[in-house]
Chains A and B, each alone.
Chain A
Amino acid sequence: MKTPSSAPAVRSAPPFPRWAPWLFAAPWLLVFGTFVAWPLVRSLMLSFMQTFGPGTTTYVGWDNFRYLFHDPLFYRALWNTFLFTLGSVFIQLPIALALALLLNRPTLRGRSVYRLLFFLPSLVGLVFAGVLVAIMFEKRTGLVDAGLHAVFTRWDPDFPWLEQYVMPSLIIAGVWLYAGFNMVYFLAALQHVSSELLDAAAIDGAGPWQRFWHVTLPEIRPVAGLVVLLSVAGSFQLFELPYIMFNTTGNPAGPDNSALTVVMYLYQMGFMSGDLGYASAIGWVLAVLLMGLAALQRWLARREEY
C-alpha cells in the first residue's frame, strides 16, 4: 500500500477521469432507478387506480383516498399503530435509558457481558419473535401467565392476553425485543456526558435526580431525539409481529381488530384482496404522516437550540 509520505505534497494531482464517479455510482443508480424511483412514481399512479392483481387495473380518480378517509378499519389500524408507538416511546425507551444509566459506570464489572445479553433479543427476527410471543402469551399454558402466577399467586393464570389485552402484549414484546437495542444508543451518548460537569453539580449539592435532570438529560438530548424518531418510524412499520401472532387463527388482525396495524391493512388490501391501488393510497398516507413527524422533530430540535 502506498503511504502518503512517499508522495511530495507540492505536486498537483492529476484529475480523475470523468467516468470514474459514474462507474462507482452505477450499480446504485441502476437499482435506485428501477426499484425505487420508478415504483415511487408508479405507486402515485396506482393510488388513483383500482386493481384486481397487477394484471387488471382501472382508473378511479380520488376514490381510493375518499374511501380511505371514511374507512373505519383504516382509522382502527392507525389508532392501534399509534398506541404501539406510544408504548415504544413512553415505556420501552425509558426502560432502555434506565438500563443504560445502570450500565454506565466505568468501574462496573462485567459491563460488556451485560450489554451483550441485553442486546441479544434484538437479533431475533420479528417473524420468529411472533411465533415465540404468541405461544408465550397464551393463557394457562403460556410462559407469561404461568410465570406470573408462580411469582404472584394472586395472578389469574387465565389472564386473557391474546383475547383482551393484545396491545399490552405487543408492547411488552416490543420492550423485550428492543429495549436492549436502544440501550446501546443511550450508552454511547452517556459516555460523552462530561464527568467534570457532573462532579461540579455534585459539589454544588445537586442530588442524583437533579444531576440526571439538569446535566445528563440535556447532554444526551440530541441522541434521545434521534432514538425517539427512529422508534416512531420503526413502530409505524409494525407488521410481522402481530401478523404472525394471529394469522393461524385465520384472522391476523386479532380479536376485534385489536392487532390490525397500518402496514398489515396495506398488506391485506394489496395482496390478499388484490387491490394494489388501495394499498398504494394507504402507503402514501403513511409516508406523509411519517415525513410530517420527522419535520416536527427537526423543528422541535431546532427550536430548542435557542
Chain B
Amino acid sequence: MPPILRRVLAAFSPGVGIIALLAVAAAVALLLLPQAPRERVQFWIFAKQHQAVYQSLLERWNREHPGMRVEMSLVNGAVMDQRIMSGFLTGTPVADVLEVERSMAGKAFMGPIEDVGYVDLTARLKSEGLLAQINRPSLSPWTSRGHIFGIPHDVHPVMLMYRADLVEAAGIDVRQIETWDDFIRVMRPLQQDLDGDGRIDRQLLSYSPIDPNGTEVLMLQAGGRIFDDQEQPCFDRPGNAAILARLASWSVGPHQICRYADYNLASGQQLLVDGLVVAVMAPDWLCGTFKQQIPGLGGKVKLMPLPAWERGGRRTSVFGGTMLALTKASLTPEEDWEFAKAIYLSREMATALFRSTCIISPFKANWTDAAYDEPDPYFRGQPVGRLYVRLAPDVPRRTSSPYNPTALLRLSNCMTSLVAYAEERRLSDPAALEAEAQRLLVATQRDFAALVHRNAFLRAPAR
C-alpha cells in the first residue's frame, strides 16, 4: 500500500470505512438495478382494491394495442395528492391518466379555469353522447365552473349497515324505521352497558363530531349546504344550525346514541366485530372493504336505506368518490382517451369492479347487470348491488370547490365546539343548542370567507 494512502486511511475511523463501503455498494447497486422500461401511457391509481380489477383488462389492452401500452402504478393517496400538485405547478413528472379521489381533485380547480392541469372533457363527453348516460349527480364533484374534468368512477350512495344478528336477537323489526327518530326509538333496547361498569358500551350509530366525513354525509342528506351554487361558502345558511344541533345531541348527554368506530383503523373494526356499535353509514365501497378486511362480520350484517331526517325525506346520501382524469402534460391525449373509455365504460369492467369491491357503476346502462342482483351471503343474502342502484338517482349533488376539504374541517371544529358547549352547560335538547350552533357557524363563515377571498388568483378575474 502506498504510504500516502495509508496516512489518509489513518484518518478513517471504522465508521468512515463502513460508510464509504456502503456508499460505493449502494451506488453500484443503483447502477446495476434494471430500470423498468417506461410504457407509453402512465396510469396512476391510489386504491389497492382497484389494482386487481384493472390488471386483467390492462394485460389484454397491452396485447391488443402494442403501440399504446399502459403502465399502472399504485401510489399512496397523500403522495399522489402532492405529486399532482407538484406536477401541475412545477412540471415534475406526472401520470397521463389518473384516478383522483374527491378530496384531492378540487385543489386543481384553485386557479383560473384555463390553468387547470386536467384535460377538459366536456366537449368529448357531449359529442360522443356519453354525458346523458351518466348518473347526473355523480358528475358534480368533477365539474368546475361548468367544465367537466373527469369521468366518474362511481356513485357511492350511502345506506345503513346494521348488525342484523343483534337486531333480530332483540326482536326488533327494522321495517318500522323510516326516520332517524324512528331509528333511535326502535333500536333503543340495544343500547346497553354490557360489562356492568356503569358506562354504556354499545351504542346505536358510529359517528363522531371529530369525523368531518360523517358530518358531511348527514348534512348532505338533510339538504344542508356549505357552498352555494356559485361555490361561495354559506355556513350560515338557515337549516345548517338545526342539523348540527341534532348531531351534537346524539354525541353527548342523555340523548347520546353515537360511538365512533373509525373503520380505517383496526381498533374501529374491532368495535364493530365486538358488537359495540350497532349501525354504520355505509357507502357501497365500504361493503367491499368490509368483506375484504373484516371477514368476521360476514352473515351478521344487513343493509337498509338511510333513515330520513323527516317523513318522505331523502333515504340516502353520498360519501367519497373518484374520477378518471387525463392530464394536460400528457403527450398522448388520444391514446389516453381511448384507454380511459376502455376501463371505465365497459360492462365487463363494471361487473368485475362490483364483484371485487361492491362499487356500482355511474353509467345507467350498466345498472341492468345481473351481478347486482346476486344475493350476497355476507349481507345475509341481500342483493347488495340492486339496493344501492335503487338509491343512485337520489344521491345529493356535491360541490367541487377546492376549499371543500378545509370547509369540512372547519365544520368539524364547529361540531366539537358545540359538543363541548353542550357538555359544559348540560344541554341535551337540540332546540336549546341551535342558537349556539348558529353563532359558531356565523363565526366560521366569517373566518372562512376571509381565507377564500385571500386567494389573489381567484379574486383578480372577479373584479
Distance in angstroms between the alpha carbons of A58 and B461 in the assembled complex: 14
Known: A138-B265, A248-B264. A273 touches B107 (CB 8 A): yes
Which residue in chain A gives the minimum CB-CB distance to B88?
Answer: A53
For chain A residues 112-153, which have a beta carbon within 8 Å of chain B? Answer: 135, 138-142
Contact B267 A55 (CB under 8 A): no
Q: Which listed residue (B89, B266, B270) contacts A274, Cβ 8 A?
A: B89
Q: Is there an interface contact between B450 and A55, defined as CB atoms closer than 8 Å?
A: no
* B270-A141 in contact (CB<8A): yes
Q: Is the CB of B111 within 8 A of A249?
A: no
Which residues 87-113 of B have a CB within 8 angstroms of A? 88-91, 103, 107, 110-111
User: Could you say which residues of chain A place their CB within 8 Å of the CB of B111?
Assistant: 52, 56
A253 within 8 A of B: yes
Of residues 241 through 267 on chain A, the ones whose CB sits less than 8 Å from some CB of chain B are 247-253, 255-257
A50 CB to closest chain B CB (Å) equals: 5
Chain B positions within 8 Å of A135 at CB level: 266
Is B82's CB within 8 Å of the partner chain A?
A: yes
The A/B interface has a contact count, at CB < 8 Å, of 86
Interchain CB contact (< 8 A) of B447 among A72, A158, A256, A257: A72
Residue among B210, B260, B262 with the highest chain A CB neighbour number at 10 A: B210
CB-CB < 8 A to B455: which residues of A?
50
Chain B proximity of A73: nearest CB distance (Å): 9
Contacts A53-B89, A271-B85, A272-B81 known; 8 new A-B pairs at CB < 8 A: A58-B456, A60-B456, A63-B454, A67-B454, A160-B260, A248-B264, A250-B103, A273-B107
- 8 A Cβ contacts from B49-105 to A: 77-78, 81-82, 85-86, 88-91, 103
Q: Is A199 an interface residue (CB 8 A)?
A: no
Contact of A272 among B107, B265, B270 (CB under 8 A): B107
Residue pair B89, A52 in contact (C-beta under 8 Å): yes
Given contacts A55-B89, A70-B450, contact A163 B264 (CB under 8 A): no
Q: Does B413 contact A (CB under 8 A)?
A: yes
Give 7 CB contacts A-B under 8 Å: A53-B86, A67-B454, A138-B266, A141-B270, A249-B264, A255-B211, A273-B110
Instruction: Answer yes or no: B409 CB below 8 A from chain A CBs.
Output: yes
Report B285 CB to chain A, min CB distance, Å: 14
Q: How distant is A259 from chain B, measured CB to nearest CB, in Å?
A: 11
Residues of B within 8 A of A138 (CB): 265-267
* Chain B contacts for A60, CB-based, 8 A: 456
- A54 within 8 A of partner (CB): yes
CB of B294 to closest CB in A, whole Å: 13
Which B residues lie within 8 Å of A142 (CB)? 267
Please determine whether B270 and A253 come into contact, CB atoms closer than 8 angstroms.
Answer: no
- Is there an interface contact between A139 and B267, defined as CB atoms closer than 8 Å? yes
**Chain B residue contacts of A251, Cβ below 8 A:** 212, 405, 409
Q: Given A72-B447, A272-B82, does the pair A256, B110 have CB atoms closer than 8 Å?
A: no
Q: Which chain A residues border B85 with CB–CB below 8 Å?
A: 53, 271-272, 274
Residues from chain A with a CB closer than 8 A to the CB of B357 are: none
- Report B-chain residues with C-beta under 8 Å of the C-beta of A55: 89-91
**A257-B267 in contact given A52-B457, A63-B454 (Cβ < 8 Å):** no
Chain A residues closer than 8 Å to B86, beta-carbon distance: 53, 271
- Whether a CB of chain A sits under 8 angstroms from the CB of B416 is yes
